[in-house]
Amino acid sequence: MQTNRFETFIDAIIAIIITILVLKISQPAEPTLSAIWDLRVSYLAYLISFLTLFNIWFNNHNLFKKVENIDNSVVWIFGIMTFIISLVPYFTIWVAQNVNSIPAETMFGLIFVSTNILYLLSIKAVYRSNPYNKELQETDKSTYYQASPLIIIILGFILTYTIFKPGIYISCLIAVLMWIYIGWRADDGN
């Protein structure tokens, strides 16, 4: 399968999810700075989710510049990942409204763990479907760093379940910033 229509489809879904995400943010109760400050958790949750979705889009864009064809395994892995990221707005709002809730934190973290794992699997599937693409083979060597954000989120789970309830929430922010940096450095290297 050629990637043009597939990439357009994924781009459209991510754009819709980001739109839904921003529409879910509550408006300040009053037109004051203190009312805006009261929504800081919502804004940070939005930022984490937006950066994750944007990073998926950005990395896909860079990946599919190097790829002409994909197989069905790539389509299915991306389909499952699309399903998972479609849940991001729901769990973002839940954690924003309940930042000290362990169930909300857990679900927020699980969405990001699942997204990261599925993204890593999708990259590997793209590489497997293009075994003779030299540019991809060189890029493949730099993808081992992509798993490091998972370690940060796992540490967040440990923090949340032991001493610091918003541990997953904070670790998702650190992990997504790390994921952006890794993707940015990998793209600069090619």
Number of domains in the chain: 1
CA distances from 74 to 67, 99, 137 (A): 12, 35, 17
CA distances from 129 to 73, 75, 125 (A): 9, 11, 6
Other beta carbons less than 10 A from residue 55's beta carbon: 21
Q: Answer yes or no: pTM beyond 0.85.
A: yes
* CA dist., res. 82 & res. 90, Å (int): 14
Mean pLDDT by 10 residues, the chain (190 residues): 86 96 92 95 95 93 87 94 96 93 94 93 88 75 73 93 92 92 70
Q: Whole domain around residue 20: which residue ranges?
A: 3-188
Q: Confirm if 1 and 70 have CB atoms less than 8 A apart.
A: yes
* CA dist., res. 10 & res. 14, Å (int): 6
